[in-house]
Amino acid sequence: MSFIRDNELIFASQTRNLKRNNERLSAVFKKLSNMLIFPTILILFSAIFSFAIVSGSSMNDTLQDQDYILVNKLTRDYDRNDVVIIKKDTEDFDIIKRVVGCPGDTVLIQNGKLYINGKISKSDTHGNSDMDYPGIANNPVKLGDGDYFVLGDNRNHSEDSRYEIVGVVKKEEIIGKAFLRLFPTTKWL
């Protein structure tokens, strides 16, 4: 009898110790997980999104100088009228422009108007004036696979695809799609 009672006491003591150790271990894991949640969210957020600050007036009236915007870096398909951030090897900084021509399109600028595939672009509602300078689009520009033609909304004050320094933009040069102006006022793009 005594032997069974001693074993029960030892077992009960071990069970209490095991329970205390599990509680301590659980508390440590909870603290660690709480400490890791914010950095994990931050890493995931920075892998998907980035912030950009508009510099200059080339996107007026849609975006102003010093506007803060949020960019989706996961988007890999771009459509006409998307506002994109571009990294060109010819520039020391990223540029922000609007997609007006997509792969397979033929772009032409004549008499200040944008033509896509031989027709005046009806979707070009963001440009705030006729274009004084057609640049490389003075002649038809046929866009290949993964090629985009971009313009600033402030057409006559924008260095964009019309200029050889920017030219036709390759899909690989597009960092992402701007979709939200954060500051000074929040506005979906």
Per residue in 131-146, pLDDT (tens digit) is 999 999 999 999 999 9
* Residues designated as active site: 58, 97
What pLDDT is stored for residue 41 in this prediction?
Answer: 87
Band (pLDDT 50/70/90 cuts) for residue 44 is confident
Residue 83 clears pLDDT 90, i.e. is over it: yes
Per residue in 64-74, pLDDT (tens digit) is 999 999 999 99
Residue 167 clears pLDDT 70, i.e. is over it: yes
> For all residues of the chain together, what is the average pLDDT?
87
Q: Report the candidate in 93, 62, 94, 81 with the shortest Cα–Cα distance to residue 181.
A: 62
Q: Cα–Cα distance between 84 and 73 in angstroms, integer?
A: 10
Reduce the secondary structure of 71-100 to three states and give it as a string.
EECCCCCCCCCCEEEECCCCCCCCEEEEEE
Name every residue whose Cβ is closer than 8 Å to that of residue 38 and which is 6 or more positions away in sequence: none
- Where is pLDDT greater, at 50 or 123? 50
* Lowest-confidence region among 20-24, 103-107, 164-168, 183-187: 20-24
Residue 27 clears pLDDT 90, i.e. is over it: no
117-122: average pLDDT: 92
* CA 155 to chain CA centroid, nearest Å: 23
Q: Cα–Cα distance between 149 and 137 in angstroms, integer?
A: 10
Considering the entire predicted model, what is its pTM? Answer: 0.80
